[in-house]
C-alpha cells in the first residue's frame, strides 16, 4: 500500500470515529428534547457545540492525512 | 453621502483590475490524462488572478497586481504578464530582474538563469522567493466582503439614526434579528449579563465576516475564492480570540490555569502543564476547524465534478451534478454554522476568562 493509500485509510477511520461521536450526541439530544421539549433551544445549542468539538478531532485527522 | 463614496470605491476597485484574454502558448494536449488532485489543489489554493473560463482553448481571466519587495526595492506588475503560465516557463523581466510563477508562487531567478530548477526536497536551486505583498484572489475577495459588510451595516446604522422610535426599517429589518441573535443566544449565555457588552463588537465582526466570506467562497463564477479556507485567514482570527482571552483574563482565570483551587497539591502540579497546553490548543482548534470545514466542502464539490472527467462519460454527469447540488445546499447551512461555532467558542473562552470566583 502506498503512503497516499494509508493517508486515505486514516481519513476514513477519523470519519468513522466522528460519525459515531456525533451520532451519539444526536441520539441523546433527541432523547432529552423528547423528555423536556420546553428547553429544546438550549439542548440544540449545546448539541451543536459538542458536535463541533467531536468534528474538530476528525478534522485534525483529515488535515494530517491531507498533509501526508 | 457615505454610501456614494463607497460605491465609487467599489467601482474603482473593479476597474483597477484589467480584464483580458490571452492565447496560451502551449496547446492543450488532449491525450494528457486528467489529474483531479492537481485540479482540486489549484482551485483550493490562493492565486494571482481569477481564472474564469476557457474560450476556444484560450483562458479568460481577471488579472490582479503583483507587488514584490526584492533586493532592489519595490517591483510591481500585473499578473497578466505571466500569460497564464504557472509552470515557471514564462519569464517576466523588470529592471533586469527575472520572475517566474511556479504554482502561484513567485520566484526571482538568479543571474543568467532561464528556467527554474528544484532539488529533491523541492527547494529551488537557482531562484529565491522575494517578499510577496501581492493583491491575490483571496485578498481581493476579502476587500469585496469588507465593502459589502460596510454597505450593509453603515446603512443599517443610518436607518436607526433616522427612525423615530428605533423601529427597524429597510435593511435594518434583516440585520436586527441577526445582531439580536448574536447578543441573546451567543454573548449573554456564554459571557454573562454583566460583561457581555465589552465583547460584542468583536463577536459581531467575527460572525458576519466569517459568514460573508464563507458565502463568497461558494459563488462559482469568481472561481470560489477560498478565503475562509485559507489557514492564514483563520489563524489571524484565532490569534485575535487568543489575545483577547489573554488580556481579559482575570485573577480567577490565571489561578485556574497555574494553581487549580480545590484539589490536592500533587494534582495541582499535574494539572498545570495540561491547562497551559489547553490555553494554546483552544485557538489552534478554532483555526483548524474553520479551515478544514470550508476546504473540505470545496474539495468534496470539486471531487464530485471530477468524477465526470475521470469516467469520461456523460452518463455520470447527472449523478455528480445532483450530488454536488446536494452538497452545495449542505454547504450553505455549513457557512452559517461555522460562523456561529467560531463566535460561540470565542464567546465561551471570553466567558471562561472573565468568570468570577464562586467558591
| Sign (positive or negative) of CA dihedral B85, B231, B292, A65 | positive
CA distance B289 to chain A (A): 5
* pTM (two decimals): 0.81
Strands of the sheet containing B58-63, edge to edge, are B19-21, B58-63, B49-55
Residues 6+ positions from A26 with CB-CB distance below 8 Å: A47, A51
Predicted confidence (pLDDT) at residue B180 exceeds the cutoff of 90 = yes
- The mean pLDDT value for A26-30 works out to 94
B163 has pLDDT over 80: no
> What is the arithmetic mean of pLDDT over A10-38?
91
Give the pLDDT of residue B15: 47
pLDDT of B298 over the 80 cut: yes
* Residues of chain A contacting B292 with CB distance shorter than 8 Å: 59-60, 62-63
DSSP per position, B27-40: ---TTSPP-HHHHH
- Which one, of B121, B132, B91, B123, lies nearest residue B109 by Cα? B91
Q: Which residues contact B149 (CB under 8 A, 6 or more apart)?
A: B208, B209, B212
Closest-CA distance, A63 to chain B, in angstroms, reads 7
**Within a 10 A sphere around the Cβ of B144, how many other Cβ atoms?**
19
Is the pLDDT at B357 greater than 80? The verdict is no
Compute the distance between CA of residue A33 and CA of residue A46 in angstroms, rounded to an integer.
12
Chain B positions in Cβ-Cβ contact with residue A59 (cut-off 8 Å): 288-289, 292-293, 296
Q: Tell whether the model's pLDDT for residue B59 goes beyond 60.
A: yes
Q: How many helices (H) and strands (E) does chain A have?
A: 2, 0
Chain A residues close to B297, C-beta within 8 Å: none
Q: Is B289 helix (H, G, I), strand (E, B) or coil?
A: helix
Cβ atoms B102, B47 nearer than 8 A: no
Residues of A in contact with B190 (CB under 8 A): none
Domain map of chain B by residue range?
2-134, 139-354
- B254 versus B56: the higher-pLDDT residue is B254
∠ CA B132-B135-B137 to the nearest 5 degrees? 115
pLDDT above 80: residue B57: no
Preferred mutation among A3, A52, A55 to probe B, highest tally of B CBs within 10 A: A52
- Is B3 a residue whose pLDDT tops 80? no
Tell me the C-alpha distance between B349 and B61, whole Å.
43
Phi-psi region of B73 (alpha: psi -120 to 50; beta: other; left: phi over 0): left
pLDDT-derived band of residue B212, with 50, 70 and 90 as boundaries?
Answer: very high
Strands (E), chain B: 19-21, 49-55, 58-63, 65-70, 73-78, 92-94, 97-102, 105-109, 127-128, 131-132
- Residue B101 sits at φ, ψ, to 5 deg, of -105, 110
Q: What is the mean pLDDT of residues B87-114?
A: 75
* Separation of alpha carbons B297 and B295, rounded Å: 5
pLDDT 10s digits, A7-23: 888 888 888 988 999 99
Alpha helices, DSSP H, located in B46-126: none
- Rounded alpha-carbon distances, angstroms, from residue B336 to A15, B1, B42, B191, B234: 22, 32, 26, 21, 16
Position B222 scores a pLDDT of 63
Find the helix or strand (DSSP H, E) in which B51 lies. Answer: strand B49-55
Q: What are the structural domains, with CATH classification, of chain A?
A: 10-67 (1.20.20.10)
**Please, how many CA atoms are within 13 Å of residue B114, restricted to the half-sphere of its CB?**
0
Of B161 and B276, more confident: B276
| Residue contacts between A and B (CB atoms, under 8 Å) | 31
pLDDT at B27 over 70: no
Amino acid at each position: 500500500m502506498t503512503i497516499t493509500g494509508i493517508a486515505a485509510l486514516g481519513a476514513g477511520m477519523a470519519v468513522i470515529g466522528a460519525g459515531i461521536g456525533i451520532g451519539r450526541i444526536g441520539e441523546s439530544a433527541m432523547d432529552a428534547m423528547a423528555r423536556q421539549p420546553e428547553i429544546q433551544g438550549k439542548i440544540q445549542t449545546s448539541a451543536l457545540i459538542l458536535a463541533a468539538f467531536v468534528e474538530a478531532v476528525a478534522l485534525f485527522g483529515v488535515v494530517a492525512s491531507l498533509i501526508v | 453621502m457615505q454610501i456614494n463614496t463607497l460605491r465609487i470605491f467599489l467601482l474603482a476597485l473593479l476597474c483597477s483590475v484589467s480584464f483580458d484574454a490571452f492565447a496560451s502558448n502551449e496547446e492543450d494536449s488532449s491525450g494528457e490524462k486528467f489529474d483531479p488532485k492537481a485540479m482540486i489543489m489549484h482551485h483550493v489554493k490562493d492565486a494571482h488572478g481569477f481564472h474564469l473560463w476557457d474560450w476556444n482553448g484560450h483562458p479568460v481571466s481577471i488579472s490582479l497586481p503583483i507587488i514584490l519587495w526584492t533586493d532592489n526595492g519595490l517591483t510591481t506588475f500585473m499578473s497578466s504578464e505571466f500569460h497564464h503560465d504557472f509552470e515557471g516557463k514564462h519569464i517576466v523581466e523588470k529592471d533586469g530582474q527575472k520572475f517566474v510563477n511556479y504554482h502561484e508562487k513567485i520566484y526571482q531567478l538568479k543571474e543568467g538563469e532561464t528556467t527554474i530548477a528544484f532539488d529533491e526536497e523541492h527547494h529551488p536551486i537557482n531562484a529565491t522567493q522575494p517578499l510577496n505583498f501581492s493583491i491575490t484572489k483571496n485578498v481581493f475577495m476579502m476587500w469585496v466582503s469588507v465593502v459589502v459588510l460596510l454597505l450593509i451595516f453603515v446603512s443599517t446604522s443610518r436607518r436607526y439614526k433616522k427612525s423615530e422610535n428605533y423601529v427597524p426599517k429597510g435593511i435594518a429589518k434583516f440585520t436586527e434579528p441577526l445582531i439580536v441573535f448574536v447578543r441573546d443566544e451567543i454573548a449573554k449565555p456564554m459571557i454573562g449579563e454583566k460583561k457581555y457588552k465589552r465583547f460584542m463588537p468583536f463577536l459581531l465582526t467575527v460572525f458576519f465576516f466569517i459568514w460573508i466570506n464563507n458565502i463568497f467562497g461558494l459563488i462559482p463564477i469568481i472561481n470560489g475564492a477560498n478565503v475562509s479556507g485559507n489557514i492564514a485567514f483563520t489563524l489571524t482570527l484565532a490569534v485575535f480570540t487568543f489575545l483577547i482571552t489573554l488580556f481579559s483574563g482575570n485573577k480567577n482565570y490565571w489561578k485556574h490555569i497555574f494553581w487549580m483551587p480545590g484539589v490536592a497539591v500533587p494534582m495541582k502540579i499535574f494539572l498545570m502543564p495540561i491547562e497551559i497546553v489547553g490555553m494554546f490548543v483552544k485557538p489552534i482548534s478554532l483555526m483548524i476547524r474553520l479551515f478544514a470545514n470550508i476546504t473540505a466542502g470545496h474539495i468534496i464539490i470539486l471531487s464530485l465534478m471530477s468524477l465526470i472527467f475521470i469516467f469520461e462519460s456523460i452518463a455520470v454527469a447527472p449523478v455528480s451534478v445532483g450530488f454536488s447540488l446536494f452538497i452545495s445546499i449542505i454547504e450553505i447551512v455549513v457557512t452559517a454554522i461555522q460562523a456561529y461555532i467560531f463566535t460561540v467558542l470565542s464567546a465561551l473562552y471570553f466567558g471562561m476568562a472573565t468568570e468570577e470566583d464562586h467558591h
